[in-house]
Amino acid sequence: MIQMLSVAFVAGLFFESSQPECLTQFPLSKPECWTDWFDRDDPSGTGDWETLSDLRKEYPGKICSKPVGVETRTLSGLTVAAAGDVIYVSDTTTGFVCRNQDQPRNKMCNDYRVRFSCPPCFCKVCWTKWYNRDAPSGTGDWENLINLRTENPGQICDHPLSIEAVTTDTLTPAISTGQTFISNPTDGFVCRNTDQKSGACRDYKVRFGCPCN
């Protein structure tokens, strides 16, 4: 009976793990795809609340829909065991909560950061096609995300992880041109002629790295 229960338990785990946003199978014991570390709360109120629902609101798109692991450290790098706090919850469904009321002798919780491991496909980057919507003949080369989204509806993921910008003629990475520009996965790419010593931007094209799921 015990054996049957444990088989059912393992099967349940496996079923859970095969449901996330991709169908890639992977060894549960070796999750390799970790999110950033998050620290949205501190324990000065009722405790340190690093719940998944709050973290998802604060960091949209940064955490997969079904994490397979959670890791917690104090801001100074201690494990929960080393810090000695009583933890209310720490799992892949709720996230992490340390309540001050659970600590002995009116002690406050330490301040924790958390990160989650996700199915590998969540961390894999899939590139969009290259976009070149503008030329620098006006005020500059505006390959900004808001315009690219409007002109190419449904093509670029909601939360790109990265951006690549190169010149259209020599495919030189923007970073190597010596020009001044803004380039990030949230805003896209903008090079303004007025910011250049030469008075003119080169023409760039961009593409975005998205989660593959």
The residues that touch Ca ion, with contacts defined as CB under 5 A, are 39, 41, 48, 111-112, 132, 134, 141, 203-204
Closest among 124, 128, 188, 134 to 157, alpha carbons compared: 128
Select 96 or 122, whichever has its Cβ closest to Ca ion. 96
Select 115 or 211, whichever has its Cβ closest to Ca ion. 115
Amino acid found at 16 = E
Select 49 or 122, whichever has its Cβ closest to Ca ion. 49
Cβ 1 to Ca ion shortest distance, Å: 42
φ/ψ (deg, to 5) at 187: -100, -20
Cβ 157 to Ca ion shortest distance, Å: 21
**Angle of CA points 11, 13, 15, to nearest 5°:** 70
Select 20 or 136, whichever has its Cβ closest to Ca ion. 136
Are 161 and 184 a contacting pair, CB within 8 Å? no
Select 9 or 57, whichever has its Cβ closest to Ca ion. 57
Select 56 or 124, whichever has its Cβ closest to Ca ion. 56
Cβ 71 to Ca ion shortest distance, Å: 14
Cβ 40 to Ca ion shortest distance, Å: 7
Q: Is 119 left (phi over 0), alpha (psi -120 to 50) or beta?
A: beta
Cβ 72 to Ca ion shortest distance, Å: 9
Q: Is 44 left (phi over 0), alpha (psi -120 to 50) or beta?
A: alpha
Q: How far apart are CA 102 and CA 99, in angstroms?
A: 6
Q: Give the count of beta carbons closer than 10 Å to the beta carbon of residue 156.
A: 19
Cβ 100 to Ca ion shortest distance, Å: 13
